[in-house]
Structure 1
């Protein structure tokens, strides 16, 4: 015979309503009582029917996670597994599951988000990117649906959006200034897709540092490719074919930088002997590359954790208003610069 809430209440010597509140992790119940009830649940082998509770509470205890493109492509970049690690840690602590988007195109992802909202599949949504002319954010704002952005809103009033971000402008400006301090003036920039706001902010920071130092901004030193290993390889082919090659490169993503280093090695261009390279993200590959990468640690895990914390707070307290969280970054100096 199945164990019921009444059985747990009897074992813990509390009212059945107290057991329900413990299952819901109510702040009205003391930690001591929660511990006693949970111990009784464990002893009796009681598992709450979360689906039934969700129907009663009109809650799914699920967070929608929206990636910039299909999971197949996104997961080739270590950024996304790491940010999802931060998301899942906080979600697990608060008793939430995750619902990952699987759309292959911008339109498919938008349709999927509409199904999440209209179908009541999730309690809130995490957007793992900010895109120029994005349709999803305006839709979620119009619906009044809880969401948090990892990134910076574009052409939308920041007071309308809760977002968690790095200061990507400042980070790119800092690494450009670092290369100039090392004596470099011919500095190339290998960026990601210009549809993404993070790329725009990186490019602005790079340009501003050059302008401040009275170094001309050269359009032929700026290239954009997919943030994958092949993108880095293609970018190097472009830049190394120039009559005046750069003496240093800023690459906006570690997995791209891995492709950059491989292609430079194939061309017998030594790093940092012939060219210095600075990267972004500080994923594990940056320590395993040869040479090891000088890179900007943007604390990817913290981005995911903080964004999830903000979203669950919005779900539980919808009248609290929007907030902005800036996760700090730091330059990690290794062997790829000279």
Structure 2
């Protein structure tokens, strides 16, 4: 005979309604009561019927995760497995599962989001990116569906709870660092102006140059679209400029590592001939030669905070939108040096 919440309540010496609240991780139930109920569940071998429960309480106990492109491509980038690790931790603590989008195009992902919302497949959604003209974000706002964003929303930021680094500030810091090493011709490689973090990082670089009295040269910005299967060609072209850069800020560590590889092919010494900085502090950056100077953006913590505040939003009717800033810091290694005069 199947174990019921009444059986659990008897063993834990609480009412069946208290057991239900523990299953829902209700904030007004004490940790001591939650522990007592969970011990009774374990002792009796009780496993809640989540599907039946979701019909009663109109909750799926599932968080939707929206990737910026197909899951297959996104998960090749170490950022996404790490941010998902942080989200999963908080979800698991509150007995939530996660539901990943798998669409291969923006339109397919949008349709998946509509199905999540209209089909009541998830209780809330986390967008793992923020970009300009995002009709998924617009749709979620229009539907007043609970969601949080990793990244600064391009518009309506005051209406949306979002978790981000201060990308302007940290890029200003690393540009100041390169200026202190004597570099004034500083390129930005891999800019994707659809992504808000890229817009902010480019702005940080420009602010640093302006405050140092160094003119910003648009020719030293190489956009993501220009790099598609042509990074070596674009890098070579950049170095052939009459006034080539002596330092590069790369959009992420992947781009930076690829540039270091191509520099070796082109007999360009890093950092003696050109200094390179990346973002995200992926593990391989520590072990390449030269080891990569980068920015630690605390990817895992971005995921933890995005899930934490989504879960709070789901519990509190009067939850106010907020911005959560996760600290970032430069990690100095061997890929930068003082400019040789």
Change (3 A) 1:29 1:134: closer
- Distance in 2 (alpha carbons) for counterparts of 1:135 and 1:229: 25
- Distance in 2 (alpha carbons) for counterparts of 1:28 and 1:160: 27
Write the mapping of 1:180-199 to structure 2, written as runs, cut at 5 A.
180-199=179-198
Change (3 A) 1:69 1:238: farther
Partner of 2:148: 148
- Partner SS, residue 238 of structure 1: helix
Partner of 1:296: 295
Contact 2:189 2:251 in 1 (8 A): yes
- Distance in 1 (alpha carbons) for counterparts of 2:236 and 2:135: 35
Q: Give the aligned length.
A: 337
Contact 1:233 1:256 in 2 (8 A): no
Partner of 2:115: 115
- Distance in 2 (alpha carbons) for counterparts of 1:128 and 1:233: 29
Contact 1:232 1:257 in 2 (8 A): no
Change (3 A) 1:285 1:279: same
Partner of 2:100: 100
Partner of 1:44: 44
* Unaligned residue ranges in structure 2 (runs of 5+): none
Change (3 A) 1:276 1:42: same
| Post-superposition CA distance 1:49-91 (Å, at most 9, x none) | 1111111111011111111111121112111111111111111
Contact 1:77 1:227 in 2 (8 A): no
* 1:235 CA drift (Å): 4.4
Change (3 A) 1:53 1:238: farther
- Distance in 2 (alpha carbons) for counterparts of 1:42 and 1:174: 52
- Partner SS, residue 271 of structure 1: coil
Partner of 1:125: 125
- Partner SS, residue 302 of structure 2: helix
* 1:231 CA drift (Å): 7.1
Partner of 1:31: 31
- Distance in 1 (alpha carbons) for counterparts of 2:227 and 2:81: 14
- Distance in 1 (alpha carbons) for counterparts of 2:227 and 2:2: 52
- Partner SS, residue 280 of structure 1: coil
Partner of 1:317: 316
Write the mapping of 1:168-207 to structure 2, written as runs, cut at 5 A.
168-207=167-206
Deviating beyond 6 angstroms after TM superposition, the runs of 4 or more aligned structure 1 residues are 226-229
What's the TM-score once normalised by structure 1's chain length? Answer: 0.95
- Distance in 2 (alpha carbons) for counterparts of 1:312 and 1:295: 32
| Post-superposition CA distance 1:109-153 (Å, at most 9, x none) | 111111111110111111111111110111111111001111111
Partner of 2:17: 17
* 1:238 CA drift (Å): 3.4
- Distance in 2 (alpha carbons) for counterparts of 1:146 and 1:313: 10
- Distance in 2 (alpha carbons) for counterparts of 1:120 and 1:126: 15
Change (3 A) 1:257 1:57: same
Partner of 2:55: 55
* Unaligned residue ranges in structure 1 (runs of 5+): none
Partner of 1:258: 257
Contact 1:225 1:235 in 2 (8 A): no
